[in-house]
């Protein structure tokens, strides 16, 4: 049975695509079949970070020129990528009905895989629609006022749609595990105070120069810096996902 996991952020530039790619790679390393969907439909760049140059993108499928399998790229034995298009406004503003059909086609075609959707930043109708469709939601944010405010905006909209359950925070670029947990607790306190509901904790990712280096080199961090703190953090999050996101593992912090 597939797990559909959306990874989002309220604000751009907080490491969302890197995290999406790395979680997909980590799940693959754990022996799961994984599909990574670059769902930043108008400004895609997952393929750049993976160091591949696909000839076809999701736009070729949406426009009816190719099948879904034809636009799917093999990254390794267990990981596949459906690349997004870049600079295509029509895709970025895809009607929600068409977006639902696309989601259903992807999830039915890859029904035995973990499917990781790397969403665009922000709270567009398209983004929120995909977030609500997925089984699990990871919200990435950093310790900056704009990122905190925008991430809270995402959480508030999910709450209004009764989709805050199975939603988990991922503090990024933290100094250490303790500061990451405290950062999560601050955001969770906001949710408890203003929304009346807690939000889950998936784990934090350390600030790590290996991340920037792997992005510059266009090589995944698991191969370029396999001993880095950030890769260890990502593997921890992926292991929790593989062991059953939405059950006790990621909900253990709700009582705090």
Listed by start position, the domains of the chain span: 3-251
Question: 6-26: per-residue pLDDT in tens?
Answer: 999 999 999 999 999 999 999
pLDDT at 87: 76
Q: Is the pLDDT of residue 247 over 50?
A: no
The DSSP letter of residue 63 is: T
For the chain, the average pLDDT equals 91
Q: How far apart are CA 29 and CA 216, in angstroms?
A: 23
The values of phi and psi at residue 97, to 5°, are -65, -45
Question: 111-152: per-residue pLDDT in tens?
Answer: 999 999 999 999 999 999 999 999 999 999 999 999 999 999
| SS3 assignment for 166-213 | CEEEEEEEECCHHHHHHHHHHHHHHHHHHCCCCCEECCCEECCHHHHH
Give the confidence band of 191 by pLDDT, cuts at 50, 70, 90.
Answer: very high
pLDDT at 248: 35
pLDDT at 246: 44
Give the global pTM.
0.93
pLDDT at 244: 74
Q: How far apart are CA 95 and CA 98, in angstroms?
A: 5
CATH for the 3-251 domain, from 3.40.50.300, 1.10.2020.10, 3.40.710.10, 2.30.38.10: 3.40.50.300
pLDDT at 93: 86
Q: How far apart are CA 15 and CA 237, in angstroms?
A: 15
Give the confidence band of 245 by pLDDT, cuts at 50, 70, 90.
Answer: low
Give the confidence band of 91 by pLDDT, cuts at 50, 70, 90.
Answer: confident
Give the confidence band of 88 by pLDDT, cuts at 50, 70, 90.
Answer: confident
Q: What is the mean pLDDT of residues 56-83?
A: 95
Q: Is the pLDDT of residue 188 over 60?
A: yes
Q: Is the pLDDT of residue 213 over 90?
A: yes
């Amino acid at each position: 049975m597939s797990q559909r996991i959306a990874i989002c952020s309220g604000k751009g530039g907080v490491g969302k695509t890197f995290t999406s790619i790395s979680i997909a790679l980590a799940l693959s390393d754990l022996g799961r079949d994984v599909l990574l969907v670059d769902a930043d439909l108008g400004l895609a760049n997952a393929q750049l970070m993976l160091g591949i140059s696909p000839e076809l993108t999701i736009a070729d499928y949406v426009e009816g020129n190719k099948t879904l399998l034809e636009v799917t790229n093999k990254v390794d034995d267990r990981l596949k990528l459906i690349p997004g298009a870049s600079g295509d406004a029509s895709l970025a503003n895809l009607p929600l009905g068409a977006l639902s059909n696309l989601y259903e086609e992807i999830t039915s075609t890859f029904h035995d895989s973990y499917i990781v959707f790397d969403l665009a930043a922000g709270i567009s109708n398209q983004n929120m629609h995909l977030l609500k469709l997925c089984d699990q939601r990871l919200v990435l944010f950093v310790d900056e006022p704009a990122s905190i405010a925008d991430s809270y905006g995402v959480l508030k909209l999910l709450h209004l749609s009764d989709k805050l359950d199975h939603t988990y925070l991922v503090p990024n670029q933290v100094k250490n595990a303790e500061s990451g947990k405290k950062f999560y607790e601050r955001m969770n306190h906001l949710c408890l105070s203003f929304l009346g509901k807690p939000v889950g904790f998936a784990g934090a990712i350390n600030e790590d120069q290996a991340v920037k280096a792997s992005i510059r080199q266009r090589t995944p961090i698991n191969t370029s810096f396999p001993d880095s703190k950030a890769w260890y953090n990502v593997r921890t999050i992926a292991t929790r996902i593989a062991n059953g996101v939405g059950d006790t593992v990621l909900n253990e912090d709700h009582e705090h």
